[in-house]
Structure 1
């Protein structure tokens, strides 16, 4: 058994397809299939149930996959640690980002990181904040930029506050409130809203604010992409509450949208979060680029 066989098993498990797994691993399918078959003979178990249309892990395969991922992660840490001892940062850095990140310019940060550490392979993952935190705890992400309601606290990860922000009301340019200097939640509670999916941190921030004010609102449209949300607003299908630091520069050049401050509106905190368990040299290097000190 060797690490390459483990990589092949992980690739097939994640793609559920031998052809796509071989493409991911840059080998021909026959070679990948042969190596996995040899591993199955060595182990004395079948790792995958195969048919002409489907590939699924067996119960033995599911058990093997857990250990294989741990072994590969340990091998990556060993390589990165050896390189770090010589002053060179290598390996992989998995970075999670929410779609409304505003506290940092992520492309600019990644550019500075690449300039300092060109041997690190950076992988980007876009998810909501709850999923990003879970992925850090599970070891699937190294670091993430996320935002949470003021009432929610991060647990199980290390974190540093990057910014605190208020939401603003986003309305069509011709809306009755487009020229208002400010509004309250009570004044907008009867509007039709465009918002993120129910249960997501982006949605929870607004839901909690209305609940705290004893108000109920109608969310008629749910979306995961902010561009779609603002297009729906521009068409007059609803209004939205979005973080001011994120939406203000995007709406500045859009004549179809207007922003209105909300006196008692939602507030959120943006964080950078990372694993509290043995952060990799690549993670520590990113924290250094951000000017954040990782605990020893």
Structure 2
């Protein structure tokens, strides 16, 4: 029943049989049979269908809570027996692209250390193609990159969609002149600090400018979001930040505001987890892959 409980929890977290089957590397009919067997073994209905959606029954919610606790206990057990250092400790090496290092990795590491403080988490950074190579060559256990990866040697698990948003110093003349949503044309000639070339954020930004024939007044190009935030007031400049990076506290601390620009929603990009496949991962890393996917699914 342990396996069926794990599959059931994954379906709940992904809110989709299709997404769950992809994550579990299992066909959708096979996954449906696993769920049916669990319901048969328990003698209860775990889901009710509402249109095309699956909703948990009351007993389904109780079963999900039990599945989470079972998963955590199993996780701790596997970490204990697979550790090659001090007893009870394991390590995981995460490869992160330069942008996910600043947008995604902090929340991810916080979740991992809070749920399993005994795990040694290490990270290596680089450009997306470098992270792909590290995971493919087993020099990193998993990778977090700001794109979908199509590589026959790797599995790609989409975590969430992201897009760029316009951030400006509070009281900037543009916000005074246009208190409502701005047009993309308002970026033409706007003083801006942009992220350094070579990342998908900058590629996306340059593609946007080319599409709408925009020529902003680029004051600086920096490879650190924190440095950009510190310089925006000094330069009286705006910037384009990934939505996943922006927090209310960040805006308050830096006296910034986000101004809606409808066309920026076109800059959608998917942040993904990549791994070499279940056959090439040790059991504890495999469970981390599923725990990370569940963490971001709950975050939606």
Taking structure 2 as the reference length, what is the TM-score of the superposition?
0.59
What is the alpha-carbon distance in structure 2 between the residues aligned to residue 203 and residue 229 of structure 1? 14
Structure 1, gaps ≥5 residues long: 1-82
What is the alpha-carbon distance in structure 2 between the residues aligned to residue 99 and residue 178 of structure 1? 30
Structure 2, gaps ≥5 residues long: 1-76, 85-90, 295-300
1:127 aligned to 2:126? yes
1:285 aligned to 2:278? no
CA distance change for structure 1 residues 103 and 225 in 2, over 3 Å: closer, same or farther? closer
- Per the alignment, residue 35 of structure 1 pairs with none
Q: How much does 1:281 deviate?
A: 2.7
Contact 1:170 1:239 in 2 (8 A): yes
Aligned with 1:111 (options 86, 110, 113): 113
1:164 aligned to 2:161? yes
What is the alpha-carbon distance in structure 1 between the residues aligned to residue 80 and residue 144 of structure 2? 26
What is the alpha-carbon distance in structure 2 between the residues aligned to residue 235 and residue 270 of structure 1? 32
Q: How much does 1:218 deviate?
A: 4.0
- Per the alignment, residue 220 of structure 1 pairs with 219
Contact 2:159 2:293 in 1 (8 A): no
What is the alpha-carbon distance in structure 2 between the residues aligned to residue 234 and residue 130 of structure 1? 34
What is the alpha-carbon distance in structure 2 between the residues aligned to residue 102 and residue 109 of structure 1? 11
Q: Show structure 1 runs of 4+ deviating over 6 A.
A: none
- Per the alignment, residue 89 of structure 1 pairs with 82
**SS at 1:264 equivalent:** helix
CA distance change for structure 1 residues 291 and 171 in 2, over 3 Å: closer, same or farther? closer
Which structure shows the bigger proportion of residues in helix conformation? 2
Query: Could you list the per-position Cα deviations for residues 223-247 of structure 1 after superposition, in whole angstroms to 9, with x for gaps in the alignment?
Result: 1211101111122342110012312
Once the two structures are overlaid, the 10-residue window that deviates more, 205-214 or 249-258, is: 249-258
Taking structure 1 as the reference length, what is the TM-score of the superposition?
0.59
What is the alpha-carbon distance in structure 2 between the residues aligned to residue 229 and residue 262 of structure 1? 20
CA distance change for structure 1 residues 144 and 113 in 2, over 3 Å: closer, same or farther? farther
> What aligned pairs does 1:263-278 form with structure 2 within 5 A after superposition?
263-265=262-264, 266-276=267-277, 278=280
Question: What is the aligned length?
Answer: 202
Q: How much does 1:168 deviate?
A: 1.2
Q: How much does 1:209 deviate?
A: 1.7
**SS at 1:283 equivalent:** helix
> What aligned pairs does 1:175-194 form with structure 2 within 5 A after superposition?
175-178=172-175, 180-194=179-193
- Per the alignment, residue 155 of structure 1 pairs with 150
User: Quick check: which has more Rg, 1 or 2?
Assistant: 1
